[in-house]
Amino acid sequence: MTAVMHWHGFGPWQGGHEVFEMKNDALRRPREDWDTTTVPPLETGNYLLRRSQASRERTWTRVEDALDWLAGLHDQHPHDPTLNYPDKATRLKHTRDGLLGGADALWHYTTSISANRVVVYAVICCPHRHHTRTPCPLPPP
C-alpha cells in the first residue's frame, strides 16, 4: 500500500541567530532528547522524528490548509520591516508549488535585527522523499 502524500506543520521556534552558527550544529542533529527539543533541525526531514510534536491540527491532506497555517503564522510573526523579504503572496505561491512537488517548506526570517530574533516554522512532506525510513509521526485521519 502506498502512503498518501500529506504534510505536517512544526513550530514556530523563535530565538537568536547564533543557533544557526556551525558551532551549534550538534544542537540541530537528532539525539536522545530530540522529541522534546524545538530547535530547528539541520535537515528538514528530521522534524518527522519529533513524534510528540505532531498534531491533528497541523496534519493536512490539502495543501491549501498547510498554506493557511503558514500565512497565519506569518501574520503573527511579521518580518523586520527594515529588511527586504518577498511579500506573503509571493512566498505562498512559491511554497505551494514546492509542497505539491514534494519539497518541504521552511519559513525562516528575521523578526527583529535589534533584538537578534528570528522565527522558524516548517511544513514537512510525508512520506518524506529523502528520509524514506522515517515513519510518519501521525497519519492523516
Confidence check: pLDDT of 1 > 70: no
* pLDDT above 80 for 3: no
Is it true that the peptide bond before 30 is cis, omega within 30 degrees of 0?
A: no
14 strand-pairing partners: 119
Contact 120, 106 (CB under 8 A): yes
Q: Tell me: the pLDDT tens digits for 56-70?
A: 999 999 999 999 999
pLDDT on residue 4: 84
pLDDT reported for residue 104 = 98
- pLDDT for residue 102: 94
